[in-house]
Structure 1
């Protein structure tokens, strides 16, 4: 198999008029993307940014971002991802902390004084990328920031983990990891090795934000396979359904929250008749949700397990596996991909027997440590005698209530079973007597009649032990989500604090 860089180079053999990216119903030809990529490459070369240079890219779901990735990664440079969905102050702080040599951003970003001033003061060369124009907005004619290159194990991408349970951290994904992950995915799906002309064949879909590993990986896979694709600016039910229906997609990604949205929108089955499977895995996927989707549309849900640190997925279901094993292994996230080893260990690092729950460890070329070492995750898991992996929560999410362990997902599943509840999340709140107690926050099905807190508590008491029942259940219009559609824990805590303050004021007013 050709390397990712070699595969990207094959794009230049495609005719300029070949359709490459569809956005908002319109096709952008390869020729336009090529012109912009070449102009970006020329400016980076002029400023002294060759192979191994660190280039920041404000990575929104737009055509300019794709051209930037081709110019950066196609020449062996390192891409520093910058999230445009953040407030300007946070994005600016992220840029300064990462300190890339060059930043590529929309012109609108360079109109923000805080962003431009920070780039100038940090010595960062900046370019505005809009349409097919590349305009310098900060810095001199050459980069002034030095960078070290790891010649033995070069870095392809530096990006943040989701940070939904704490401060996000920027990690380095090496070319070795991306290449190995590509091989593993192709080995798992059996897709990607066919011979065809560049930018021909079945149209792919990119539905997640490309600043997240799920969206970025989809773009890299499409570029490596020289495949035309739809790039949704953001996920909407209508946009996703239209893309699936128009291009007769056989497989499409659908995170759990988006899957619930499709079900709630009551999308007609005939709109999805081309699909042979949907993949899901940016966060926990309830088997009940998967079965509901399959029952409604006759489409199997292929759950995947991965993380940014793994450069993508390391385990998952294939359609043949699903056909043979789902009934018996329901709730599993599938089997390890080719070349991936999994095991569970106790807190002292001792390897546990088959079927015993513990901390999950992963060994693979696509993991940062490589195949000769094991990376310990924060996930609690077990692996059964047939090699199927079950994720049972996170070690750092478990709530210890008066000595009893409460797994948030167990409580969430009980709440999700209520017909009026669309989704739920649970976290631990400090308690002077018990250590921590579970607090739940639920989002109701669109149009559902409001449900009293006591009713929800009574409902879950039939499914949970007494210590698992949340002490408080808040109802919100919409649960806060990050770019990967996971619950954003920090925003959630701010939301709950606001709800508690309002409740406190109302209680005080009632007492008066």
Structure 2
């Protein structure tokens, strides 16, 4: 038998634009709570939420934004982020998600490569001064015409001015624009690093992300009565799709505890808002279970939730079912390029499959395990590349036809680069990665990108970056460097200082080792698998049994 399967098709795909779907939800549940954000004192019904979205949409129309224009969003989890998400969806303006951890060079690349006309940004986040960074890169981004900073007390009122500009635009113009849109139009660009080091803009349509959100909810037995806690960042596909859009497509309540993940605030929101579900990466759940408020927090309202983003230890999954009071918790697996979910466990799956696999094919999605070299479908229980096909596969990488063709086969299969095994029931276990991508706490780190930067250090002759196991983040980044002749060994503090403000914090190596040579194959290739094994022994790390999730 061949390791290939297809998800259920008894429930039809949604053939709507995001705007049409959202307005249908508003019409059905106008007085139901739509979004709760304690850190901004937001508690809005769907009617109020829709009114606020339309104010932003009218402002963008007043500024002249056309269908297909790109606008970046660079901010933590604020209400303005979601308002832009839905306002652009109604206008056909393509939203470009910008990682809040980006530094100046990463920001400039994303804005320039996507051709952003504008950017909506916070003024700062944690230690990052967004105002300063945007001013530093403006000359390098010729298409960028305006920056709309989210208002802070005592600062110029950019956001308020956007809303004021929209007052002269009737709501009928939003409706007129919505009639010109098609469900297959591009509506979102999300950057994911490539193995060459240059980020790729995964381009997603209304149909891609609306259906992925909806069927994620179908798999969870979701309804308008659910209250979903979403502490994961909106910029990530899982946050904006499996959080924001999921709730909106069902008329459920989105609960956002804080601008960035805070375990105490998340536990408080779960209790006070009587949340029925939560979506986190494993490190977030682990942090909450280690928090001093965990035991005294009332979690009895919970029933479901999803976990994804990085390897999840089996014992953590078991604790979510019992200690976290989430008997129906599910694993989601996929990637940004697939909107993101390709496989998901179900609440009725056997417990050993729910905690020890990434589930089965998502509704209306085909999956298979294929030989990486030949492309032929493997047999059951044979290791090969996890591939997926269907509505969820991205339109392509923005302005990058070559890498699109390298990733999507001529017959539509998306090559994930992950190694998996499928059993006869269709359950998939992810056992490794063809390429050596590191997943640190839900963030993808591509070694070549970090290596390319460290190569610019004047004292480094060669560098190899690997991932090593970490109890908190799933994996951590380790750099193994060879110094130039006559140069002193690089210290960790010096390496960290060299990376500061040049790489996002999660890309900066946690470990540094100065070596004189690397283990090599007979053909001269570095054996990173062997390097990792040796590093684990030297560092005294444990290879925790884990599964990779979306």
Taking structure 2 as the reference length, what is the TM-score of the superposition?
Answer: 0.66
Can you list the C-alpha shifts for 1:74-104, whole angstroms capped at 9, x where unaligned?
2222111122322345323432332212222
Question: Using the alignment, how far apart are the partners of 2:75 and 2:549 within structure 1?
Answer: 17
- Give the equivalent residue in structure 1 for 2:343: 315
Q: Assess, with a 3 A threshold, how the Cα gap between structure 1 residues 213 and 162 changes in structure 2: closer, same or farther.
A: farther
Sort the Cα spacing of 1:167 and 1:326 in 2 relative to 1 into closer, same or farther, 3 A: farther
Counterparts of 2:347 and 2:196, CA distance in 1: 32
Q: Deviations over 1:265-323 (max 9, x none)?
A: 251165222222332111121213212443534534421111101112121112111xx
Residues 1:473 and 1:426: Cα distance change in structure 2 (over 3 Å):
farther
Aligned to 1:333: 358
For residue 436 of structure 1, what is the aligned residue in structure 2?
527
Contact 1:60 1:84 in 2 (8 A): yes
Q: Structure 2 regions of 5+ residues with no counterpart? A: 1-13, 125-129, 163-179, 396-407, 439-465, 481-516, 542-547
Q: What do the CA deviations read for 1:442-469 (whole angstroms, capped 9, x no partner)?
A: xxxxxxxxxxxxxxxxxxxxxxxxx677
Matches within 5 A, 1:88-103: 88-103=104-119
Say if 1:91 and 1:292 are closer, same or farther in 2 by CA, change over 3 A: same
> Would the alpha carbon gap of residues 9 and 363 (structure 1) be closer, same or farther in structure 2, given more than 3 Å must change?
same
Does the 8 Å contact 1:208/1:215 carry over to 2? yes
Matches within 5 A, 1:220-369: 220-231=245-256, 232-265=258-291, 267-268=294-295, 271-300=298-327, 301-321=329-349, 325-327=350-352, 330-346=355-371, 347-368=373-394
Q: Which moves more between the two structures, 424-433 or 71-80?
A: 424-433
- Whether the 8 Å contact between 1:256 and 1:285 is mirrored in structure 2 is yes
Q: Which 10-residue stretch deviates more, 379-388 or 159-168?
A: 159-168
Question: Which among 187, 191, 199 is matched to residue 156 of structure 1?
Answer: 187
**What are structure 1's unaligned runs of at least 5 residues?**
137-148, 195-200, 400-407, 442-466, 476-483, 487-512
How far is the alpha carbon of 1:124 from its aligned partner? 2.0
CA shift in 2, pair 1:425/1:84, >3 Å:
closer
Please give the alpha-carbon distance, in whole angstroms, between the structure 2 residues aligned to 1:318 and 1:165.
Answer: 36
Q: Distance in 2 between matches of 1:86 and 1:6?
A: 33
Aligned length: 416
CA offset digits 1:200-250 (Å, max 9, x no partner): x44322211101111111112223334332223111111111111112222
Higher deviation after alignment, 355-364 or 164-173: 164-173
Asked if the contact 1:383–1:390 (Cα under 8 Å) also holds between the matched residues in 2, the reply is yes
Pair 1:8-2:22 in alignment:
yes
- Indicate whether 1:44 and 2:60 are aligned: yes
Classify 1:45/1:191 alpha carbon distance in 2 versus 1 (closer, same or farther; 3 Å): same
Please state whether the residue corresponding to 1:278 is helix, strand or coil: strand
Secondary structure of the residue that 2:267 maps to in structure 1? helix
Matches within 5 A, 1:29-40: 29=44, 36-40=52-56
Q: 2 CA distance for matches of 1:364 and 1:84? A: 31
Contact persistence 1:358–1:381 (CA under 8 A)? yes
Residue 394 to residue 75, structure 1, CA distance change in 2 (3 Å): same
The equivalent of 1:62 in structure 2 is 78
Measured in 2, the distance between the counterparts of 1:38 and 1:398 equals 40
Counterpart residue number, 1:378: 417
Change (3 A) 1:348 1:224: same
Distance 2:193 2:232 in 1: 13
Measure the CA separation in 2 of the matches of 1:433 and 1:471: 19
Shift of 1:157: 0.2
Give the Å deviation of 1:156: 1.1
2:199 counterpart residue number: 168
**Given the two structures, how large is their TM-score scaled by the length of structure 1?**
0.70
C-alpha distance in structure 2 between counterparts of 1:129 and 1:398, whole Å: 34
* Residues 472 and 114 of structure 1, relative CA distance in 2, 3 Å threshold: farther
Q: Secondary structure at the match of 2:212?
A: helix
The change in CA–CA distance for 1:212 and 1:440 in structure 2 (over 3 A counts) is farther
How much does 1:395 deviate? Answer: 0.8
Q: Mean Cα displacement is larger for which, 338-347 or 45-54?
A: 45-54
Q: Give the Cα–Cα distance (whole angstroms) in 2 for the partners of residues 183 and 32 of structure 1.
A: 22
In structure 2, the partner of 1:216 is 240
CA distance in 1, matches of 2:194, 2:479: 17
